[in-house]
Amino acid sequence: MKAGILVVAAGLVAASTPLGAASLYEWKDAQGRKVYSDLAPPIDARDAQQKRFTGNVIEGGESYAAKTAREKHPITLYANACGAPCDQARQLLAERGVPFSNKDPQASPEAQAELQKLTGRLSVPVLVVGTERIDGFESGRWHAALDQAGYPSSALPGRKPAPAAAPAPAE
């Protein structure tokens, strides 16, 4: 009988929680041990705190998928003021909300040496996703590489796309 009441109570609590949102409670019990539960703490609990979580968003507005992809497959874009291909490359990454490191081989001798070593030439744009390299801009190949690495297909709802870093002016 009591088990049935608990199941019904748990169902009512779950039904009253908005979809995508969850609560977690943390408190200390009578023996001073920390307790975590999705159920509210008893009246005699000490230092009770309620924490709310929505979806799979990590602090800073980055989804869990994007954070995991960024850690496993960091992105470097070698680009400069090459016109439409470089602009489209930055735009694609910005629309997907993909964090990337922008290196301009015209403005940085270090970036120029890296690109020369990587590709054997100085043509841009070049996208590096983890260990995969794509020379030139072709949106289908870029999307496929980002998808394979686990990056989300678009920026989080309600969040402006990450600004594409403009190339540093040549000196």
How large is the average pLDDT for residues 17-26? 60
Q: Is the pTM of this model over 0.75?
A: no
The C-alpha atoms of residue 122 and residue 114 are separated, in whole angstroms, by 10
User: Looking at the predicted structure, is the pLDDT value of residue 170 above 70?
Assistant: no
Q: Provide the residue ranges of all domains of the chain, joining segments of one domain with +.
A: 2-55, 63-149
Gap between the Cα atoms of 102 and 137, Å rounded: 15
User: What is the per-residue pLDDT for 169?
Assistant: 47
Which CATH architecture fits 63-149? 3-Layer(aba) Sandwich (3.40)
Two structure tokens written together for 102: 């922008």
pLDDT: which is higher, 103 or 37: 103
User: If you ran DSSP here, which 8-state letter would residue 1 be given?
Assistant: -
Quickly count helices (H) and strands (E) in the chain. Answer: 5, 9
How much is the average pLDDT of 1-5?
Answer: 51
Give 70-101 pLDDT, tens digit per residue.
Answer: 889 999 999 999 999 999 999 999 888 888 89
